[in-house]
């Protein structure tokens, strides 16, 4: 059961303790680590010594850092319509204002340099009651981020996120078409698109420029009204078998990175949930 695409995980989906996360990741056969929360601290708040320690621990397991899962643009856009209160705002131990964003971006590029990775994940401001009214501001933000990334040899990975203004493949395609910058690419999250009412595959995926997909997040759910009910990867309403086959057919060379979300059997065992989903991911990537 050898994966045909490389598999990875956001490490804190297994455990906020990096050492504890890396053990099961290695057992599953993951060779990439995406960094968001380590030792209970957001990646943006780690000291230089902590960052160097993380890099060494990951290297010692035969893995590489594949991306910085930053909270950039998970903030309120000033002078925009009011924020849509129906959505939960997951900040993962990091809460910043609009004014903080340029500083955060510079710091994220520094961390990416240290870790030897290219992708810095970003968002599109907290979702408002009128996302279309925020489109130009999102494109403007993506432009300055992509320009800054180009100077540092990095890639801005815009994630479609159901709690932000760009939530579906249709939304993402519109941004990518409006800004054809080589340093702006997509972190494609089919389950987030599902949460936003879109059929992620084949419908949403068919809208995307395939050469602009830099990274893929894997998780699975079904919807209860507007509420996602998370479950084991490959067992809910995202057609992961079809999606992964299409990615390979379209020449995707990036990673499939686990972002479990499911709380596990009994609803209180995230480590076991990620073990189950990780093995499921390996199977799906090997089919």
DSSP for the chain reads ---SSEEEEEGGGT-SSHHHHHHHHHHHT--EEEESEETTEEGGG--HHHHHHHHHHHHHTT-EEEEEEEEET-SPPTTSSPB-TTS----SS----GGGHHHHHHHHHHHHHHHT--EEEE---B-BS-GGGGHHHHHHHHHHHHHHHHHHT-EEEEEP-TTBS--SHHHHHHHHHH---TTEEEEE-HHHHHHTT--IIIIIHHHS-GGGEEEEEE--EEEETTEEEE-STTSSSS-HHHHHHHHHHTT--SEEEE------GGG--HHHHHHHHHHHHHHHHH-
* pLDDT score of 93: 66
Quick: pLDDT tens for 3-14: 999 999 999 999
C-alpha triplet 222, 228, 232: angle, nearest 5°: 55
pLDDT bucket at 240, cuts 50 / 70 / 90: very high
All structural domains of the chain: 7-188+195-215 (3.20.20.150)
* Average pLDDT value over all residues in the chain: 97
Distance CA 129, CA 83 (A): 6
Q: Is the pLDDT of residue 235 over 90?
A: yes
What share of the chain has pLDDT > 70, as a percent? 99
Task: Give the CB-side neighbour count of residue 196, counting CA atoms within 13 A.
Answer: 24
pLDDT over 70 (residue 91): no
Q: Is the pTM of this model over 0.75?
A: yes
The per-residue pLDDT for range 249-275, each reduced to its tens digit, is 999 999 999 999 999 999 989 999 999
Question: Quick one: CA dihedral 156, 161, 167, 169, positive or negative?
Answer: positive
CA–centroid distance for 134 within its chain: 21
In the predicted structure, residue 115 carries a pLDDT above the cut 80: yes
Mean pLDDT of 137-155: 98
Q: Give whole-number Cα distances, 62 to 6, 22, 97, 206, 220, in Å.
A: 13, 10, 37, 35, 28
Provide the token pair at 82: 């009011």
Q: Is the pLDDT of residue 228 over 70?
A: yes
């Amino acid at each position: 059961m050898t994966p045909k695409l490389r598999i990875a995980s956001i490490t804190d989906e297994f455990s906020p303790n990096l050492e504890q996360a890396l053990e099961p990741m290695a057992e599953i056969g993951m060779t990439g680590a995406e960094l968001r929360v380590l030792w209970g601290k957001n990646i943006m708040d780690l000291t230089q010594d902590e960052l160097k320690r993380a890099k060494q621990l990951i290297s010692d397991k035969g893995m590489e850092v594949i991306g910085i899962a930053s909270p950039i643009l998970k903030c309120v856009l000033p002078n925009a319509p009011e924020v849509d209160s129906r959505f939960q705002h997951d900040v993962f131990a990091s809460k910043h204002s609009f004014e903080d964003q340029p500083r955060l971006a510079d710091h994220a590029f520094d961390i990416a340099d240290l870790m030897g990775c290219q992708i810095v994940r970003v968002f599109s401001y907290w979702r408002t009651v009128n996302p279309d009214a925020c489109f130009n501001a999102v494109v403007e933000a993506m432009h300055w981020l992509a320009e800054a990334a180009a100077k540092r040899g990095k890639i801005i990975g815009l994630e479609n996120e159901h709690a932000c203004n760009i939530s579906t493949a249709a939304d993402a395609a519109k941004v990518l078409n409006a800004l054809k910058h080589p340093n702006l690419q997509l972190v494609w999250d089919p389950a987030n698109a599902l949460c936003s009412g879109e059929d992620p595959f084949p419908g949403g995926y068919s809208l995307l420029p395939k050469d602009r997909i830099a990274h893929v997040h894997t998780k699975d759910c079904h919807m209860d009204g507007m509420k996602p009910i998370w479950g084991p990867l490959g067992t809910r309403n995202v057609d992961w078998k079809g999606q992964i086959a299409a990615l390979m057919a379209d020449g995707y060379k990036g990673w499939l990175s686990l972002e479990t979300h499911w709380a596990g059997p009994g609803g209180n065992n995230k480590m076991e949930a990620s073990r189950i989903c990780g093995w499921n991911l390996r199977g799906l990537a090997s089919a």
